[in-house]
């Protein structure tokens, strides 16, 4: 794909990032190590996805917005197995979010500036509010809005909010496709 010649894909420790079909990685983003991006994933300007000491997997139609940092938890004396970073499908990761060694389910919105820490589990269909702090090891139950620092369950999601997950993912797929079309040689 033409965009691959303009992006920062870096191998590390014998692992090279693997991209699904129709993936957009902005030329200013960095993706390195043991990383897999599913079909129709978009990685926007200045995002960093660093799978250098564990694996990162991002599901189809997910988007990683500008300035986000995605990393893992390495294995060591305090955590013998470490934690990979696992992100499901149809996930929208807001601008400047930080995800570190956690598990994010399907159809999740991670608000701008939110932080999800080591060993946290975010089930399917969750909204994490802007600037929320999800502390290590916390589980966020499906179907709820979480906000604050530390993040707390605020209320159940409405049907409109539940429907928004797939709308948001599809919107970023369309935008990603527009960007890819601009990158195609004439």
Task: Report the CATH number that the domain containing residue 111 is assigned in CATH.
Answer: 2.160.10.10
Q: How confident is the model at residue 183 (pLDDT cuts 50, 70, 90)?
A: confident
Work out the mean pLDDT of the chain and round it to a whole number. Answer: 95
- When divided into structural domains, the chain yields a total of 1
Residue 166: strand, helix, or coil:
helix
Q: How confident is the model at residue 6 (pLDDT cuts 50, 70, 90)?
A: low
Q: Count H helices and E strands in the chain, helices first.
A: 1, 20
Average pLDDT over residues 76-85: 94
Q: Is 59 exposed, middle or buried (0-12, 13-18, 19+ CB in 10 A)?
A: buried
Q: Which residue has the tokens 């269909």?
A: 125
**Nearest-5° Cα angle at 6, 181 to 102:** 95
Average pLDDT over residues 35-59: 98
- DSSP 8-state secondary structure symbol assigned to residue 83: B
Average pLDDT over residues 59-86: 96
Range of the domain at 117: 2-183
* Cα separations in angstroms, 154 against 112, 129, 138, 147, 164: 17, 10, 15, 7, 18
Residue 4 has pLDDT above 90, yes or no: no
Distance from the Cα of residue 179 to its chain's centroid:
19
What pLDDT is recorded for position 7?
63
Given a contact cutoff of 8 angstroms between Cβ atoms, the answer to whether 116 and 130 are in contact is no
pLDDT tens for 112-146 read 999 999 999 999 999 999 999 999 999 999 999 99
Residue 160: strand, helix, or coil:
helix
From 38-52, 89-103, 172-186, the region with the lowest mean pLDDT: 172-186
Q: Distance from first CA to last CA of the chain, Å, rounded?
A: 14
Residue 147 has pLDDT above 80, yes or no: yes
């Amino acid at each position: 794909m033409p965009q691959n010649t303009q992006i920062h894909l870096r191998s590390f420790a014998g692992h090279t990032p693997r991209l699904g079909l129709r993936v957009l990685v902005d030329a200013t983003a960095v993706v390195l190590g043991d990383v897999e991006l599913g079909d129709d994933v978009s990685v926007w300007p200045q995002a960093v996805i660093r799978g250098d000491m564990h694996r990162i997997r991002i599901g189809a139609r997910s988007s990683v917005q500008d300035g986000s940092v995605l990393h893992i938890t390495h294995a060591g004396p305090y955590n013998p197995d470490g934690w990979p970073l696992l992100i499901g499908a149809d996930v929208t990761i807001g601008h400047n979010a930080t995800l570190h060694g956690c598990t994010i389910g399907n159809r999740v919105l991670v608000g701008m500036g939110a932080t999800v820490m080591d060993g946290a589990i975010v089930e399917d269909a969750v909204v994490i509010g802007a600037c929320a702090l999800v502390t290590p090891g916390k589980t966020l139950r499906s179907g709820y809005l979480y906000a604050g620092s530390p993040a707390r369950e605020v209320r159940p999601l409405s049907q409109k909010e539940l429907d928004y997950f797939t709308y948001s993912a599809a919107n970023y797929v369309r935008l990603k496709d527009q960007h890819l079309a601009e990158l195609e040689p004439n």
